[in-house]
């Protein structure tokens, strides 16, 4: 973890709500944080301090609600705090992700190193055996002397140096292997939305390809649901982007809870999400989308220094994959159904069959 991570996190508190035109005193929060650490009987370390400070500051409603739930359930401890802390830190860490071309180059480098180590060892073994065979024969004294006093020592010295080189190259190969593993992780994160920790558009496209192949193989339908938070710009304008980000994480968490198995969720735009439901009929997809809509509409998030809680609604559009069609066509039908839901008042679910009425 970068040394300035905690500092980056603490910079967030410059955005604390103000009282009488001045920022709320961080000293008060500092003291309350230390008091809560003592009350919870946990170690006074950066992890607990950051989590409890964030909880008390109520800057991020979703994070505050998550911590509060753990506390209410007597489930706040070192393990849960570490998970919460990593969630918090993830919002501030942005890694530059290598691409697939780099992985291909690394694979080629690993193969080349491995081949060199194997072939050089085989060649030296053959030469060494040949030299020993020659020395075992009856040779003219001068030839034998040259071989034993000059050729053999020089070769053994070269052999030793090459062994050392192979050892160094082998270590380099291990380092490259480790780099390759890190690259796999990086590629995973390249397909993951850093804010919500669910697949992004790139991950969505990859999942869609797999579901299409499975659908064709099993001759089974699948459904695509597009979901869009209603009036989300107003949420950002009214409460700020930190609260808006919190709302997006909350929706992502709910989507995870409401889907399972082979279902694939993704954040494919600013406030737009998608769900792929393999082996699912049109009617069942409508039920899933309606259940999610009701869950979102029934929940409120409290926001510090705001009289009214944050209430979210979303609209959804649904389409069923038709054998042989391209993904853009499927996506367009679901998108048209989504816009129908938006135009008909929002906070509703529309399917492609509604487009025909």
Q: Which backbone phi and psi does 298 adopt, to 5 degrees?
A: -85, -10
What helix, strand, coil percent values describe the chain, rounded to 5?
A: 65, 10, 25
Catalytic residue among 271, 325, 328, 336: 271
H-helix segments, 141-200: 141-146, 152-190
Cα(162)–Cα(124) distance, rounded to whole angstroms?
9
312 backbone φψ class: left, alpha, beta (φ>0; ψ -120 to 50): beta
Cα(127)–Cα(122) distance, rounded to whole angstroms?
9
Short-list 110, 219, 230, CA closest to 173? 110
> Is 271 an annotated catalytic residue?
yes
Cβ–Cβ under 8 Å, residues 351 and 258: no
Cβ–Cβ under 8 Å, residues 159 and 124: yes
Would you name the residues annotated as active-site residues? Answer: 271
């Amino acid at each position: 973890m970068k040394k300035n991570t905690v500092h980056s996190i603490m910079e967030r508190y410059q955005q604390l709500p103000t009282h009488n035109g001045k920022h709320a005193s961080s000293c008060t929060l500092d003291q309350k944080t230390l008091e809560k650490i003592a009350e919870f009987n946990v170690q006074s370390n950066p992890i607990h301090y950051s989590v409890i400070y964030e909880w008390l500051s109520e800057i991020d409603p979703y994070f505050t609600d998550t911590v509060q739930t753990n506390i209410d359930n007597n489930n706040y401890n070192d393990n849960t705090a570490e998970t919460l802390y990593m969630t918090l830190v993830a919002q501030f860490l942005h890694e530059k992700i290598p691409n697939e071309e780099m992985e291909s180059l690394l694979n080629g480098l690993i193969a080349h190193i491995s081949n060199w180590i194997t072939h050089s060892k085989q060649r030296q073994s053959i030469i060494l055996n040949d030299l020993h065979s020659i020395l075992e024969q009856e040779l003219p004294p001068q030839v034998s002397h040259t071989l034993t006093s000059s050729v053999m020592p020089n070769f053994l010295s070269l052999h030793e140096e090459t062994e050392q080189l192979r050892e160094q190259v082998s270590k380099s190969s291990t380092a490259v292997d480790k780099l390759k593993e890190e690259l796999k992780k990086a590629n995973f994160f390249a397909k993951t939305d850093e804010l919500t920790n669910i697949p992004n558009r790139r991950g969505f496209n990859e999942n869609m390809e797999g579901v299409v192949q499975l659908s064709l193989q099993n001759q089974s339908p699948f459904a695509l649901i597009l979901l869009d938070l209603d009036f989300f710009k107003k949420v950002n304008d009214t409460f700020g982007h930190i609260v808006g980000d919190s709302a997006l994480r909350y929706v992502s968490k709910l989507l995870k809870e409401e889907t399972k198995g082979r279902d694939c969720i993704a954040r494919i735009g600013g406030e737009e999400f998608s769900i792929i439901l393999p082996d699912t009929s049109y009617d069942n997809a409508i039920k899933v989308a309606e259940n999610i809509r009701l869950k979102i509409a029934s929940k409120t998030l409290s926001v510090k220094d705001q009289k009214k809680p944050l209430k979210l609604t979303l609209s959804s559009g649904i389409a069923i994959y038709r054998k042989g069609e391209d993904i853009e066509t499927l996506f367009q039908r679901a998108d048209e159904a989504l816009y129908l839901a938006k135009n008909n008042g929002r906070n509703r679910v529309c399917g492609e069959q509604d487009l025909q009425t």
